[in-house]
Amino acid sequence: MKERDDRIFRLVVSKMAVERQGEELPQVLVLGPPWVFSTLESQFPNKFHFLKPWDSELSLHQFLISYAQSTQALLIPAVIHTLNSAILDCLPSLKLIITTSAGVDHLNLPELRGRGIAIAYAGNLYSEDVADMAVGLLIDVLRNVTAGDRFVRQRLWPTKPDFPLGLKLSGKQIGIVGLGKIGFEVAKRLEGFGCRISYNSKTKKPLVPYSYYSNVHELASNCEVLIICCGLTEETHHIINREVMLALGKNGVIINIARGAVINEKEMIQCLVEREIGGAGLDVFEIEPEIPKQLFTLHNVVLSRHAAITTHESFVGMSKLVVENLEAFFSNKPLVSPYMGY
């Protein structure tokens, strides 16, 4: 009985605390991993009252029903895939979703459009960081940087001198899948390495000096490296399949800084195991963070933790953009970085 009374007391106190904090300021609900939000929170001015379900003892459903009935703005500070109809049904006043990502594949766009909910997103904020990461992964895979690090740490250098040779980056024929802002930034960087650039995208870009291939198979047949820079859509889902990888060839390298499911991951692992492609640098996976264990055993693969955007500078820029969008929204001005593609 005492335990039950204590619990009710704690719930009432936490409800009062939430209500007190939010008396004046516009409310913004936050859904997503608390650790991502906590890296941003210190940068936000004291202008909004952030509703954080993880601070409450209530279930998410109960929390939303209790506190978020008049909430108009929702912040998603990571790529989470749990924003389903059941959650949206608990948010009858919702008018805006701010996602801090550049990709919007985690949002059900037709449903949000149907419900009249606007979206603000990161736009091109991270393109340089993501392009830097793509080039970093490529150099790592070709020149065995991480594999060399493991070799040295395992004290194998003095005893086992037969470390494999790397492959040269300069002059490589690079195929970029998706020549948006990130793809362009990757191309610009690799031009500096004397690489020859080709690309695939929905349509040929005017005034672009790179060779265009209208399908990825043809692109792969003419390249030694594929760098995946496109968004994940129904059309691009598993667009990089076994046939494409076989066309890339035995020394071919795949870099993915876009979304895991653009590549058929099972087929990629099979191609890597059977040495039908040369290697891969992967920042993203089909299901994160539970990635296939087989990848851990492959020495021709460099793994990263969906971290291409995670620089101090990009987090500062992202916090600023979130605040600008919230300020615009709560003062009935146009959003600063609206997502228009739905």
- Please compute Rg for the chain using Cα positions: 23
User: Smallest gap, in angstroms, from Cβ of residue 99 to ligand GLV?
Assistant: 8
User: Smallest gap, in angstroms, from Cβ of residue 93 to ligand GLV?
Assistant: 27
* Torsion region of 123: left, alpha or beta (phi above 0 gives left; psi -120 to 50 gives alpha): left
Q: Which is nearer to ligand GLV, 210 or 315 (CB)?
A: 315
Rounded-to-integer distance, Cα 218 and Cα 243, Å: 11
User: Smallest gap, in angstroms, from Cβ of residue 209 to ligand GLV?
Assistant: 27
Q: Which is nearer to ligand GLV, 126 or 199 (CB)?
A: 126
Measured in whole angstroms, the distance separating CA 286 from the mean position of its chain's CA atoms is 11
Give buried/exposed letters for 246-266 (b at 16+ CB in 10 A, else e). bbbeeebbbbbbbbbbbbbbe
User: Smallest gap, in angstroms, from Cβ of residue 259 to ligand GLV?
Assistant: 7
User: Smallest gap, in angstroms, from Cβ of residue 307 to ligand GLV?
Assistant: 9
Residues that bind ligand GLV (CB under 6 A): 79, 101-103, 122, 126, 309
Residue owning tokens 């047949």: 221
Give buried/exposed letters for 313-334 (b at 16+ CB in 10 A, else e). ebbebbbebbbebbebbbeeee
Q: Which is nearer to ligand GLV, 220 or 284 (CB)?
A: 284
Question: Hey, which residues are catalytic here?
Answer: 259, 288, 306
Q: Which is nearer to ligand GLV, 88 or 133 (CB)?
A: 133
Structural contact between residues 328 and 336, judged by C-beta atoms closer than 8 angstroms: yes
Rounded-to-integer distance, Cα 311 and Cα 326, Å: 23
Q: Which is nearer to ligand GLV, 249 or 317 (CB)?
A: 317
Structural contact between residues 235 and 216, judged by C-beta atoms closer than 8 angstroms: no
The identity of residue 263, as a single letter, is: I
User: Smallest gap, in angstroms, from Cβ of residue 282 to ligand GLV?
Assistant: 13
Residue owning tokens 């279930």: 59
Q: Which is nearer to ligand GLV, 121 or 329 (CB)?
A: 121
What residue spans of the chain are helical by DSSP H? 2-21, 34-41, 60-67, 85-89, 109-114, 127-143, 145-153, 181-191, 216-221, 242-248, 265-273, 312-330
